[in-house]
Structure formats: structure tokens, C-alpha cells
Chain A
Amino acid sequence: MKILTPNSIPEALRMLKDGSPDARPIAGATDLLVHWPDQRTSHAGPFVDLSRIDALRGHRWTEDELVLGALTTYWDIITDPRANDELPILPRAARTVGAVQIQTRGTWAGNIANASPAADGVPALMALDAEVETAGENDTARVPLDAFYLGYKQLNMQPGWIITAIHVPRRRCDFSSFIKVGTRNAQAITKVGAAVTHSDAGWRVVANSMAPTVRRCRALEDALDRGISIASPDALIPLLEQDLAPIDDIRSTAAYRMNVLARVLFHELAPVCPFIGTTSGRNAP
């Protein structure tokens, strides 16, 4: 097994090109190591360890953005008072990832690039209209996160490119909520998840573990923006079904996922949306 340790972005990109098609970048390596040693042979290619590249480290606040370097960890955000104050959905999501060991190693960029439909960092970022900055040897690009997934584990990024940063608009949300229904209370993979925000840009509802990729529920967003009344959790389901397609797998069932997403969303939204719930205020669970 070979691990390469570039000190700059250009060096990393060169190493990735030289080692193509098997070379792979690693950041915290928490995703990569999950299947160790079973898939060691399928991980034969050289690993390009990004962790020594200073340009990728840390996060910063600009006039109108929070910029996460590709090495920014969950812990970096959990411990940033400004993030807790301005964009609380990010630290809230971060706290649900694995447990402290993973939170201190795992990166937001790794979470995006790993492209798991169950990723917990991605929905929170997507609900804030984050954009992904990527770089190749001769070029860079900036793609909205909600356009970054083309299909299951398919990224809108060219082979040999890396994520260099994530840009999060500093937009005040008057409502934000992060929901993780995991297999247990910690060290859990999400069975049903959602991130919800409301700001001047309107409603964002993003679901994870509900489709081949993390996905925005645009039909529901639209209904919320227009204030269409929704009397019960079950009434949410037809809206959700327009964007989502959950499956049965070893962790849960499609029926559970859809039912539970509808219920948790309903009870998150009912207290803040006058048009959601019965007029009596006595709602079905």
C-alpha cells in the first residue's frame, strides 16, 4: 500500500494524475477505513493524503460567506461560537456524526465526496445553499451542492479533481432544523434524515437516506413557499414522493422511511407554519 503526502494542491493533483485511475485522495480517512481490511485489495491504488496541505486547512468567515477548507472537520465547526450563533444547523448536524472520535477526524468535504445517500453533513450544507469549489490541474469550478450529485455515488466533478473548499452563504435563517433518525442514539447511520431552513431565499427541505443521493424536496419546498395547507403527516407523503424514492435495505424499509419522514417534518413544521396542522391544533401523531 502506498500513501503519498503532497504539500500543495498542485502537487496533490499531479500525484492523482500520475496514479490514475486508481489513486484516491484521503482526508480524515474515516470513510475509507470502514471496510478495512475486507476491501484492501480494491483499495490498492496509491492514497494521496491531503492532510498536510495548508491551503486546504481551516475555515474562515468572509463578508458574506463561511468558507470551509477541504480539511475542515466537524469538530472545527462544533467548537466555533460563530457557527453556533449564525448557522446553528451546521454544528447541530456535526454533533450527530458518529461520536467525538469521528467528529474530530472526519471532514465536511470527505462527507460530500464520499457521496453516501445517508451522509449527515451534506443535507445541512445543502439546506444553506452551499457551493462546492473544485480544482483540477488546469482549472477550477464552483458547483451548487444540490447539483453536485448526478446519481448514486456519481459526482459532478471530473476524475482526478479534488474538492478544495465549500462556500456557505451567510444568510440569516429564521428557522432551521436538523433531524436524524438513526439506528441508535450515537454511532448510527441515518435511516431517515432531513435538514430544513427558512430564509429570504424561501424554504429548503433536504432529505438524506431517502433517495440514491441526498436530495432537495422541491415539491414540498414549493408548497411551503406558497403556504398550501397540510392537515396531517400523511398529507405530506404525496409531496415527498415527487422527489424521493426510499428503498428497503438491511437498515430499514421504504415504508418506514416515508412514513417517518412525513411525521418528523410535520411536527417540526406545525409549530412554525400556521397552514400546517389542524385548525384545532390537536394533531395526529
Chain B
Amino acid sequence: MAASTRIEGIDKLAGRERYIDDLDIPGCWWGMTKRSPVPRGTIREIRFGPGVDWSEFVVVDHRDIPGPNQVRLIELDQPVLASEYVRHVHEPVVLIAHPSRAMCRRAIREIEIIVDPEPAALDFRVPPAPEQIQHGPDNVLSHLTITKGDAERALRDAPHIIEGVYETGAQEHVYLETQGMAAWEEDGTIVVKGSMQCPYYVLNALTHALARDEKHVRVVQAPTGGGFGGKEDFPSVIALHAALLALKAGRPVKIIYDRAEDMACTTKRHPALVRHRTGVDSDGRLLAQQIEMTIDGGAYVTLSPVVLSRGIIHAGGPYACDNVSIVGRAVFTNAVPFGAFRGFGAPQSQFAGERHMDRIARTLGIDPAELRRRNLIRDGQTTSTSQTINDGTDRVAVLDTAIRLADAEKNQQEDRAFNASHPYLRRGTGIACIYHGGGFTGSGEVHLASRLHVAALPDGRVEVRTATTEIGQGMLTIFTDIAADRLGLDRSRVTIADADTARVPNSGPTVASRTAMVVGKLVEDACDDLRRTLGLDPVARGGAVTDAIDNWYRTHPDREPVGRAQYRQPPGIHWDDETYRGDAYGTFAWAAYAARVEVDLRTFQTRVLGFQTVQEIGKVLNETLARGQIAGGVVQAIGWALLEECVWRDGAMANAQLTNYIIPTAADVPPIGVHFLENPYPHGARGAKGIGELPMDGPAPAIANAVADALGVEPDTIPLTPERLMELMTHARA
């Protein structure tokens, strides 16, 4: 199918799309948040200064919360507003609202939160000192293991053991639209509207802390300017804040973070430390993988256990190895909580894994591509969780296609000559082989039991009702096309309902590369069910469908025909949460990436000269959108690999400004080659697998491997800023 145009594309381009900040809500006040000045301590006093007239303001603190003071997510440990104790800098303590935003700004400065500080744990990489312990014996909040075969024994017998330690930094999402939410009460129902990925997560958080049933809470997604995971968990917090202010003020209240607040106070990608100890034979075949992954959870649990889970499941890489032992730990610190970010732990663990493959190759004197060819999973072999891969994809061909399209062999020859003669520029090529599981891990999708409806409207159109959100990825377009294609209708006859919990069923969160593959499949199923409801046979299309809708409304004018779908697990999937063994995902997308870089030895800057991606993603639903996902992911990962450094001072982000937190511009991005291979997945919409997160996994290791190739050093920590590379080269020389 040719790429159809994007449904909301022109509105976005023309600036007509109305985001929550653009919505004029009559009588609406502005809300703002006063936060903890220190990473840890007991709140002694809250002072309201004389600089403003407080009678004009609505002020909310923890005592105004009708239900439990808890943000409901995986655990209930995070308070909506700190009461006696703060666990991180910028933790919300007091909320205020006023008709004027400028007055709010002034008033926030008049509030002083006085905290008796306690020793904060700020470095997740080292064991906490006794006075820093805040949970269990060691601040570890989640501990997971994967075991296959006997890694200890295999390591004892291995001819070569290769070790490496890898580190990745936090990353800010930098969605174009900052977090924002409005709330008001309407006939006894609290309505919350704003920027979000997961309306039902927000709904669940509201019913819990506001002690209301679902009927009296309504959550509506406003057009959302990007999420990347940053609007998976955090919107629950700001939604609760807006709702509390609106309830107390008795009028609508809107909270819109400015960029500085958004960057400093909301979640980021989990920093990670990964150790590898690998046994190999002289041909480079993997005999044993021993991997330890530690991630910084920050001050509250948020999504850390599942980020850790996806991280360790992807840690072994797309390779066959009979003896694997992976240990994962997420630890509490007094940092601003880390949360979901595109890739969800897998970019961190695969950075380590793919850098380590290069270290093995260099140590043994084997070509890095050849080392990978020898170890890539063949059909019939198993992953680290003992999941048998049998999808017919030729993973070696994926790699070889990338190498061919990147002209890697020719470039490497040219670069060797170039490097020998140039006074200060050095070029190199690096590759990475990656995989990414689509949808929730293990039995996650079964627990979600996602639902979706397709209704036929009196005007003859069909409406897809889903809580899956458009967050820039193109869901509106994809779902329209899937429904139109399934029912044989023109796409103008398909509409997608607003993601409004009063109107759409819970289709699960818009995360985990699950939209096209998992929820898109529900669109197909619901279309089929609509046909049944309309009394049509399973192959009826086009005119037959529209005629049946007309007929239906002639005979049942007040009953809407609705097709319903609910997730059903594809047959033959088995996962054991206890042993962490089995089919971690319904399917994986596979990819190989090649980067060519040029390092300037005067400035230690790394420029990516070219970037080639090859991925097998089941089925491309819309070529333009799919290319956009890959290219965008590569750019985001180039930022993470080379530029984006969160500078921490006492648990706070010191560079919470776009002038100093450096994301790539168009001038920092090379031409990106995007090549798709298709091997339809029978249980995804029209054969699609997940694709959104995949491109985040590969660029960082490919680039670091290219720098290693250019310079002969081992860049094991990212972001590989010029300053960090200078240090590395100085040590290498010393």
C-alpha cells in the first residue's frame, strides 16, 4: 500500500492543532508547584512570605487529598504531595492557583520549604553508606535474574574470558510540547484533559488518590506534542495536581510546565552500569555470558522494575549462547525518579552488549562483523530466556545487507589510508546488531487484556474507539488505514474517536512498540466483529458494509452496532514470571546498524558521517511513517550517544535548559539510510511488528564502535562528549 497522508499532519504543520496550552477554558486559573529544595530530609516548616496577598490564591498541600496520598502505578510509594518527608530535589510539596500566571510565578518564590537535610544517596554505582540506606539492606528496589545452562562452569572451562564495564547516562525526552494538564468538575465528574500517552493510567491514578469511582472521573487526551515515554508515567502526577487544585478552587485549573521545570522535575532515561564477563572459544563462539545490570531508579519505584526487566531480557543480544546468567538490580537513590523512555532499558543493555562484542572481536583479532555472524541466533536456537526463535528471518542477511548498503568494506579501506595521512582527522566504521521485543513483556499483554471497539455511525462512517493515543508516531493514520483496509472502505469513511475514557475502552498504554502490532490487530478483530454484528459474512467489504450500516439504522434507529475486540494471546506462548524463563515477547524485530564517524583530534568531537539501518519489522504499514520512526530514533540515539549529558548537582539537573542540554540539530545529523526487510508476523496487524523503540537501541553502540575503530580506544561510557573522549585518550596515552 502506498503511504497515505498523515491524518493530522497539515493541522500540525499549519499550527492549527490546539494543544492543552492553546485551549481557552473559561474561568480557568493557572496552577504551579512548589518543590523540595534538597534531595532528602524532613520538612520542618513551610513559610508563606509577605510579598503576595495569599487570600487571592488557592493553596493545596497533602491534607487536601481526598484519598490515599499515593500516585498509583506499579507500587504506591510515591506521594502525590510530600507531607513530612522529601526524597528528591524538586519533589512537589505545595500547589497554588491564581488567575494570573505571572502572579503564580511571583508567589512560588514567596514560599519557602524548610527541610532538615539528611544524607542523600546520589551515586547508584556505589553501595550506599549506612546513613544513606532508605530501603531494605541496600536500597535495591528490584532484583531480577535470568539463568540458562551453567554460566559459572562454562566460564571456568572457557579458553578466553573477556570482561568489560559499560555506562550510559540519563537522557531527557525533550518532547516538543512540555507537560501540561487542565482539570475541572462537570456534574460531579472530575474531568482531566492534557498531554499524555496513557489515559487509563491517569484515570487509575485519579480514582485512587481522589477516592472516586471510575464513573466520576473522565480523562481526555489533548493533542500531544511527543512523548517518547515521558508521558507514560509522569502525566498521572501533574493530572493529580491539576485535579486537586480544581477541586479546591471550584473552577478549572491548568498547569503547564515551562521547559526548565519540565527538564528539571520530570522523569528521564535510567542511567545504567552494565558488567560483562564472557567466555568464548578461539573462533569467537559465545560459551558463557555473565551480565550484571544496575540501573538508577531515583527516589520512587515508578516503572523501574519493568525497565529493568526489559533491560536484562535484551542484555544478551540477538545471539545464541547456551550458558547465561544475568542479574539485574534497580536501586533507589535520591535523584528525581527515572521513568519510561523509548527503548525502556533495552538501549542501555544493548549498548553494553554491542560494545562488548567489539571488545571480544578486538581481543581475539576477529572481524567484528564476522564475530557477530558466527553468533547470531539461527532459527531453532534460543534467547537468554530460553525462548526458541523460529520466525524464518535470516539475521545474518540483515547484518550483511547493512554492511553492503553502508559500503562498509570500501569505506574501511579508504579510511585506513585517510587516517594514515591526515594530520588530525580519524575515520572509522562500527556496527551493531540489535533486537527489540514488541509489546509488553512476558504475561504483560494477558494482564492488560486490552479492548477496542469499532462502531458504525448513523452517517455510514465507522468509528474506532481506542485509548491508544496519537503522540506523533502516526497512530491516527495507521488505525484509519487498518480499519479502511479491513472493511474495504475509503479512509474518509473511518474516524478515530478522541481518546476520552468516557467514550473509549481501555486499549492499554501507548508504549512498548505495541500500537501497530498489538492494538492495530485489535482494530482488525473489532472490524471483523462489527461485520458479525451487522450480520455480514466474514469477507464482506466496501459497499456491502455501508449498505449493512444503512440497513441497520433503518431497522434499529436507536441501537448502535459495535464491533468489540479483546486481546487474545497468540497460541504457543509460555512465560514463567517466577523463573524468568520462556517467551518474553510474541516476536522480536531484528536490525543491524552501521555508523561511519570522523573524530577530530584537535577538538575530540565526533561527527557521524553516515548511518545505515536495516531492519526486519514484519510488515511496513506506512512507509513514510515507518521511515520517520527509524530516522527519528536514530537522531535521538545520536544525541544520547554523543551530546546529551545531564549535569547533576546535589541530585538536581544543573543544565535544565536547551542551551546547555545539547540535543542534535539538523546540522549534527548525517544522511540516514533506512532499509526495511519484511517477514510478516501472523499475529500483528497486517503482519506488523513493533518498530517505535527499535531504532533507539542500535546507534549508540554502532557509533561508539566506530570511534573505537577510528582511534583504537574503548569508549565504554556515553555520552561520548568531546571532554570524555579527551580524558579517555589522555589515559590511553599515559
Contacts and interface: CB of A to CB of B under 8 A. Distances in A.
A256 B102 contact: no
Contact of A34 (B423, B655, B659, B668): B659
A37 B722 contact: no
Interface residues of chain A: helix, strand, loop or mixed (majority): loop
Contact of A181 (B603, B666, B667): B603
A260 B603 contact: yes
22 contacts: A34-B659, A37-B258, A38-B260, A40-B102, A41-B106, A181-B603, A183-B643, A184-B665, A186-B665, A186-B666, A187-B665, A189-B659, A189-B660, A251-B660, A252-B723, A256-B723, A259-B726, A260-B726, A263-B601, A266-B602, A267-B602, A285-B602
B601 A285 contact: yes
Interface string B401-423: 00000000000000000000001
A172 B654 CA distance: 45
A192 interface: yes
Contacts of A181: 603, 605, 722
A181 B102 CA distance: 38
Contact of B423 (A185, A186, A188, A267): A267
A272 interface: no
Given A250-B654, A267-B424, 9 more contacts: A37-B102, A41-B105, A41-B106, A183-B662, A184-B664, A186-B667, A189-B659, A250-B660, A283-B423
A263 B424 contact: yes
B604 interface: yes
B502 interface: no
Interface string B653-688: 011000110101111100000000000000000000
Most A-side CB within 10 Å, residue of B424, B602, B722, B723: B602
Contacts of A239: none
A184 B602 contact: no
A260 B602 contact: yes
B446 interface: no
A253 interface: yes
Nearest to B658: A187
Nearest to A192: B603
Contacts of A187: 665
Interface in A37-57: 37-38, 40-41
9 closest residue pairs by CB, A with B: A285-B601, A185-B667, A263-B602, A285-B424, A186-B667, A183-B662, A186-B665, A256-B723, A250-B655
Contact of B668 (A185, A253, A255): A185
Contacts of A251: 660
A185 B723 CA distance: 16
Contacts of A253: 723
B74 interface: no
Nearest to A262: B602
Contacts of B643: 183-184
Contacts of B106: 41
A222 to B, nearest CB: 23
Interface string A256-277: 1001100110110000000000
B647 interface: yes
Contacts of B726: 255-256, 259-260
Interface string B193-220: 0000000000000000000000000000
A186 B655 CA distance: 18
Contacts of A283: 423
A255 B424 CA distance: 19
Contact of A264 (B602, B654, B662): B602
A253 B647 CA distance: 13
A260 B654 contact: no
Contacts of A285: 423-424, 601-602
Contact of A184 (B260, B604, B667): B667
Nearest to A263: B602
Most B-side CB within 10 Å, residue of A38, A184, A251, A266: A184
Interface in A112-137: none
A37 B105 contact: yes
Interface of A: 34, 37-38, 40-41, 99, 181, 183-189, 192, 233, 250-253, 255-256, 259-260, 263-264, 266-267, 283, 285
Contacts, number: 68
A259 B733 CA distance: 15
Interface string B587-604: 000000000000001111
Contacts of B722: 181, 256, 260
Contacts of A267: 423-424, 602
Nearest to B423: A283
Contacts of A266: 602
B159 to A, nearest CB: 38
Nearest to A186: B667
A4 B668 CA distance: 40
B324 to A, nearest CB: 39
Contacts of A256: 604, 722-723, 726
B641 to A, nearest CB: 13
B402 to A, nearest CB: 26
Most B-side CB within 10 Å, residue of A233, A256, A267: A256
A25 B509 CA distance: 51
Nearest to A36: B258
Interface string B604-627: 110000000000000000000000
A189 B661 CA distance: 11
Nearest to A265: B602
Contacts of A255: 726
A202 to B, nearest CB: 25
Contacts of A188: 662
Nearest to A34: B659
A234 to B, nearest CB: 12
Nearest to A270: B423
B105 to A, nearest CB: 7
Nearest to B663: A184
Contacts of A252: 723
Contacts of B662: 183-184, 188
A37 to B, nearest CB: 7
A34 B260 CA distance: 12
A267 B667 CA distance: 24
Nearest to B604: A260
Contacts of B601: 263, 285
Contacts of B665: 99, 184-187
Interface string B624-662: 000000000000000000010001000000110001101
Contact of B603 (A37, A250, A264): A264
Nearest to A188: B662
A65 to B, nearest CB: 34
Contacts of A185: 665, 667-668
Nearest to B425: A285
A122 to B, nearest CB: 18
Given A252-B723, A253-B723, A184 B668 contact: yes
Nearest to A281: B423
A40 B258 CA distance: 14
A247 to B, nearest CB: 13
A187 B136 CA distance: 46
Nearest to A191: B722
Contacts of A186: 665-668
Contacts of A259: 726
A192 B604 CA distance: 12
A236 to B, nearest CB: 12
Contacts of B423: 267, 283, 285
Contacts of B664: 184
Nearest to B653: A250
B195 to A, nearest CB: 20
Contacts of A192: 603
Contacts of B258: 37
A189 B726 CA distance: 19
Interface in B415-453: 423-424
